[in-house]
Amino acid sequence: MEIDREDGRRPNQLRPLACSRNILHRPHGSASWSQGDTKVLAAVYGPKPGTRKNENPEKACFEVIWKPKSGQIGKAEKEYEMILKKTIQSICVLTVNPNTTTSVIIQVVHDDGSLLPCAINAACAALVDAGIPMKHLAVAICCCLADSGYVVLDPNKLEEKKMTAFAYLVFPNTTLSVLPEVEGEPVEHGIITSVTHGVMSVDDYFLCVENGRAATASLSAFFRKNFQQTQGAV
């Protein structure tokens, strides 16, 4: 029941993760995040006084600017900006800094598949680095559905092209403390963001969700370890 991956990984094995924070001097927070060869740089400026367009006397506003590796921003990038903005808004505490704007700038360094999840993870790390108040982290993962009905996690670009369907899923990070359950399910099993491409059956979607959930545990652990390390260094 195993499917062979070109780079020799198991179906639900992620590519090597790397994250370094506070790498840029000007922004209030920054991070680079890489999953295999996919690498994204995120910078956070803010909270700044609300601009005319993003003024909201009750809540903090976020704006996301997506910079592709080369060329101009198109519809796909606009969609990414919108998804990222809504995801960030849902994990941050908006009432602490009302009437402010926080800019998140995403610079794609290299795209080798799973670009959007990688950007979400990078943005999350950068927000932590900037000290933006957050409810919890967001952990993003890409699940691919192969022809044979297998679910493959964190695909690279080659694999992404071959797959029939894929889903980008974002979950809250797994916590160590005991949280109340929502309708018999732990909170971290709830989906923050889901974006799918391609046709799949309902059961296949649930299979993706299940596999994605399982993977978030290791991603969350990586986040935690990384944050603890830097704290220790300071």
Partner 1 sequence: MALVDSSQDLSAEMEVDAFRRLFPLRFFERHLSESLRPDGRPLGKARDTIVNLGLVSSADGSALAKIGSTTMIAAIRMEVMTPSLDSPDEGCIAVEFHMPPICSPTVRPGRPADEAPVISKRLSDIISSCDMIDLKELCLVSGKAAWMGYLDIYCLDADGALFDAALLSAVAAFSNLQIPVVALNDNGRIVAINGGQEENASIREKEAVNKEKRKLTLKNIPFSLTCILHKKYILADPTAEEESIMDTLVTVVLDSSDQIVSFNKSGGNALAGSSAIKSCVELAKKRGKELKEILGEMDID
What does the binding site for partner 1 look like in residue numbers (CB under 8 A)?
A: 75-76, 78-79, 82-83, 85-91, 167, 172, 182-183, 185, 187, 189-202, 204-206, 209
Least distance in angstroms from the C-beta of 7 to partner 1: 26
The tokens of 145 are what? 């559905």
Q: How far is the CB of 10 from partner 1 (least distance, A)?
A: 25
CB of 196 to partner 1, least distance (A): 5
Least distance (Å) between residue 229 CB and partner 1: 29
CB of 211 to partner 1, least distance (A): 14
Euclidean distance between the first and the last CA atom of the chain, given in angstroms as a whole number:
47
Task: Give the span between the Cα atoms of 7 and 219, in whole angstroms.
Answer: 20
Q: What are phi and psi of 154, to 5 degrees?
A: 50, 60
What's the CA gap between 73 and 82, in Å, rounded? 13
What does the block give as tokens for 55? 């003024």
Question: Contact, 115 vs 183, CB < 8 A?
Answer: no
Q: Which is nearer to partner 1, 25 or 75 (CB)?
A: 75
Q: Give the C-alpha separation, 135 to 94, whole Å.
A: 10
Cβ 187 to partner 1, closest distance in Å? 7
**CB nearer partner 1, residue 3 or residue 76:** 76
Question: Is the Cβ of residue 76 or residue 214 nearer to partner 1 in the bound state?
Answer: 76
Nearer to partner 1, 111 or 204 (CB): 204
Burial class (CB in 10 A: 0-12, 13-18, 19+), 145: buried
- Decide: helix, strand or coil at residue 142: strand
Q: What's the CA gap between 219 and 31, in Å, rounded?
A: 16
